[in-house]
Structure 1
Amino acid sequence: MAAGAPRIFVSHLSGVAVFDPAGDQVGRVRDLVVMLRVAQRPPRLLGLVVELATRRRIFLPMTRVTAIQSGQLITTGVLNVRRFEQRPTERLVFGELLDRRVTLTETGEEVTVLDLSVHQLPARRDWEIDRVFVRKGRRGGAFRRAKGEALTVEWSAVTGFSLEEQGQGAENLLATFERLRPADLANVLHHLSSKRRAEVAAALDDDRLADVLEELPEDDQIEILGKLKEERAADVLEAMDPDDAADLLGELPTEEQERLLSLMQPGDAADMRRLMSYEERTAGGLMTTEPIVLRPDATVADALARVRNPDLSPALAAQVYVCRPPDETPTGKYLGTVHFQRLLREPPPSLVSSILDSDLRPLDPEADLPAIAGFFATYDMVAAPVVDEAGALLGAVTVDDVLDHMLPEDWRESEFHLDEEVATDGS
């Protein structure tokens, strides 16, 4: 990169694609690594934390960055793919410096860090943070709507970055990752410190936190839930998919389970208790209690309207289940399944009861994991109905839940096997 390159605000680097010289994408930027220095000297930008396609996070030194332009970053083509491990002298910009409360040295006024800018030193390959974008005024829950004056100051004009802060906010960190899928945001949280993870979880809304919790390893789930107030923990559990919430509740001590269940809506608590009554690795333990249920007199148009719900997972939206009243699980008599592709081929006024797949045998709630996996493999299904002896639909098992329980317990933290040093351009 040419010396004297223009200043770059770090928020513009979040999620930026990283390419090798041949134009192949090798990953995305997830954070920046800096080293603080004494006497208010600007920190050195050591490199970037890059997340590969395998979700492994590696360190990319700035000396291997050849260009930052048009929303992309070009490397020399050779990456060391050892897992990134933060050293005691290093700080993560997104994870530790954004949202920090620092002090303006001239006035002694406390301000909140919104962004930082980096630039390359003239005639050198070194990079450093040179300026800080801050906002005056008190920080609150509605921080982004605050009306305090925002200004950009030199790094030397503020103090407080070297201290560990209690109660650090998370609004600007979240802003840098707001477009991430829940699984990717969960990966971000997993790599933060316990303190920072709790702060970020506290700043997420209930639905977003619920989606993220479903993607986290069990230890992280329990840790985050335990740091929430019980009323909010109950709200987040209600926002989770019932099967995932039941799995998480099942890992808690009995007394804590009962306290949280008592704070939930009665219907949601009843679903949790019902799911927890089954063995974990059975159809009853894996199923969700909220599949799409329609009555026999519903039309194809009605079914397609339900399938369009953006909150449904692709697996749950793949088919609807036709049952007699009541419509909530456990339903009345289960009549059959209508697959999404069949819905697309039929006239909208047609009744769903006229296009049922009634030959597909549903799962028994006590069916074990091998039997469930065999069902999915045999019939090429992504979801399957679970029906009790009385013929009532209890819920549906989706293929993602089957995979969750068939993969190794630490699968969320594992990657493909990679060599320690690779040439990304194939050399």
Structure 2
Amino acid sequence: MDENPVVVVGAGPVGLAAAAEVLERGLQPLVLESGAEAGSAVREWSHVRLFSQWSELIDPAAARLLERQGWQAPDAATYPSGADWVERYLRPLAAALGERVRFGSRVVGVARRGRDRVVDAGRESEPLTVHVETALGEERITASAVIDASGTWGSPNPLGGDGLPAVGERAARERISYQVPDVSDAQVRARFAGKRIAVAGSGHSALTALVAFAGLAEEAPGTEVVWVLRRGRSGDVFGGGEADQLPERGALGLRAKQAVDAGRVRTVMGFRTAAVEADGDGRLVLTSFEGDESEPVDEVVVLTGFRPDLSWLSEIRLGLDPVLQAPTALAPLIDPNLHSCGTVYPHGAKELAHPEPGVSVVGMKSYGRAPTFLAMTGYEQVRSVAAAIAGDTESAERVELVLPETGVCGGAGLFDEPETEQSGGCCAAPQQTAELAAPGAAER
């Protein structure tokens, strides 16, 4: 089985970093990407500027691989856009990996060779098989290990407040979008200018959209922005501000707060959408589970986070938390219902392990439905996982990461509780912990 490649699913930032880490260990990676280029998901939000500097967006093993080919690292202290991340890092990294990266290859299943998930006999002696669909047909690849870095971009959470699409949400899909719009694009601008827009969500993607629409409202008369929040109280929805150790992340929250305070954004709180329907004028009206109705809107932008697609791992024995759909050892460390400040112990291969040997889920997908993630977390994950695959237990168990703090208290699980019930000790971080806060839209 050692002669078989380590299959990495996804050629995004964490997937390509995994390949670089595996290669540096003397093993052969094979990256399978359903899109046509490296960073296909990042390309879809290429207009968004990241709040992490270049120094926090480049995997160390990937940098070493690139530098051997004459690559020049961008200025470490600058902030790239999604397009910059693709053009100046992800595409060159894929090129450096060469034929080890295959595009247009969609993974549709992973299993033990000749064994479904029920069969115990002979399971540990059989390699993994990866089932792939390409333009030329179906293929089965034998793998020594599988690293799932496919992310969550393709599985946005719905508008519905119970985790399922609201009644009428699918029927209104032509007026509902699930990503941060690029209002600098003429066609996109024409769609939203002069309209009443509802933005649903409270993460950094939602804040980014609010800032963009607030700017559009200043330039295009008649543009109105309504911010629909499920939270029953505001809490620290705008982030850590000047206390955030990622300055651009804090600045984003401050700009969104300024837009709200200036009246360019109206806020509706404690509203969980149950239904969407058109009124007599063809506008959309949102109805809550309590029967409250929103004012009619022309467009709805849903930025309520993402969830993992586990369908193609159905024959693999996964150990997942029933709430977050994250690995069982990792889930208690990242559960927003338990950690009101987003504190999380550094983690690696041990916390990411599943009952199925040789299978790891990394990157945003490893966090399941937890809302916070940074690219540098994924890079540390794959460094540890690659070490474990190579048999270097000491390196796999060593944590080589310190994460920036947000200065924020109040996890997602607490925002519906009365103010007096929030513990005053929420910010007492355990030793060797770090705070996470990242946008739901992408690793950045």
| TM-score, normalised with respect to structure 2 | 0.24
Higher-Rg member (1/2): 1
Q: Which has the higher helix share?
A: 1
Q: Which has the higher strand share?
A: 1
